[in-house]
Amino acid sequence: LLSASWHDDLNSMATPASPLSAPHEVTEEALLRGIEHEEFVMYYQPKVSCDTGALAGFEALVRWQCPGKGIVMPDSFIPLAERTGLIAPLTEQIISQSLDWLSASFANASPLLSINLSAKSLNHLDIADHFADHCAHYDILPSRLILEVTETCAMTDATVALAALTRLRLKGFNLSIDDFGVGYSSLAQLARLPFSELKIDKMFVSSASNSKESRMIVKGIVGLAHGLGLRVTAEGVEDECTLDFLRDVECDLAQGYFIGKPMDTAAVTSWMALTYGTAIN
């Protein structure tokens, strides 16, 4: 399923990795080995309706089970993967594993699955066809997926990125603006892009309970997004009073430690049983 231009990416890994400031010393060689040995595991974090608590979907978040190091978090290796071009083969494994889980666990059920997309992936116009092929392979409709791109990446004026996003939308994928509020986008830019969801950055959400300013920002973003026809997810919901506040300002969906942490597949099964009293098949 690896398309030609993604192979090109792999073959042109010319950029040398710069020194690391990450908490774990991750080298390009180690990352390549990890990919070859398929050491990456997907965790899934639930998203629920602020209003009813009903399950809306999950976000797939990658972790590296690195022998001798334990679990390495994505902030320690995604930037390196992006700089070196290793993000392409890594994303292949992320998508396969996520779709495999979705089709096995929720064959006919409704929860949507959100997958994070690196800005680098949007340099390839054929990404839409490529992702559609993956979906066909797992018998999953593109409309069951939400592809998250960060605000900063979505707002670059790159024509190719815009075209790639449009093609994905035309194939039926849902698109989401991640980490909204920390970048620099204008309302005009926002309205022009084919997104259906906006995720408020956790910086504002996790501080909402003790900062009036954060509450005003969250409330303002919800109003703005609704005005543009976007559904809003607040990420970083860490306590009940924040969830109550989000319901008051009519935020649509909530995601965060208070609702559920990112979990491996076994933990998701237990969480579903505990929270909703339902088994997943």
* Smaller CB separation from ligand C2E, 21 or 108: 21
Q: How far is the CB of 280 from ligand C2E (least distance, A)?
A: 21
183 binding ligand C2E? (CB under 6 A): no
28 binding Mg ion? (CB under 5 A): no
197 binding Mg ion? (CB under 5 A): no
151 binding Mg ion? (CB under 5 A): no
* Smaller CB separation from Mg ion, 32 or 205: 205
By the 8 A CB rule, do 5 and 225 touch?
Answer: no
What burial letters (b/e) apply to 54-93, b meaning 16+ CB within 10 Å? Answer: ebbbbbbbbbbebeeeeebebebbbbbbbbbbbbbbbbbb
Among 50, 61, 80, 200, binds ligand C2E (CB under 6 A): 61
Among 80, 256, 263, 271, binds ligand C2E (CB under 6 A): 256
9 binding Mg ion? (CB under 5 A): no
Show contacts with Mg ion in window 86-145 (CB under 5 A).
116
By the 8 A CB rule, do 208 and 215 touch?
Answer: yes
Among 179, 222, 234, 237, binds Mg ion (CB under 5 A): 179
Among 130, 202, 215, 231, binds ligand C2E (CB under 6 A): 202
Rg (CA), the chain: 19
Residue with nearest beta carbon to ligand C2E: 256
Among 78, 146, 200, 217, binds ligand C2E (CB under 6 A): 78
Distance of CA 2 to the CA centre of its chain: 21
By the 8 A CB rule, do 195 and 224 touch?
Answer: no
HSE-up (13 A, CA, CB side) for residue 91: 28
Distance of CA 82 to the CA centre of its chain: 15
Q: Which stretch binds Mg ion (CB under 5 A): 13-21, 72-80, 174-182, 270-278?
A: 174-182
* Smaller CB separation from ligand C2E, 237 or 249: 237
Give the residue among 47, 139, 130 at the shortest CA–CA distance from 91: 130
Give, as one character, the DSSP assignment of residue 81. Answer: H
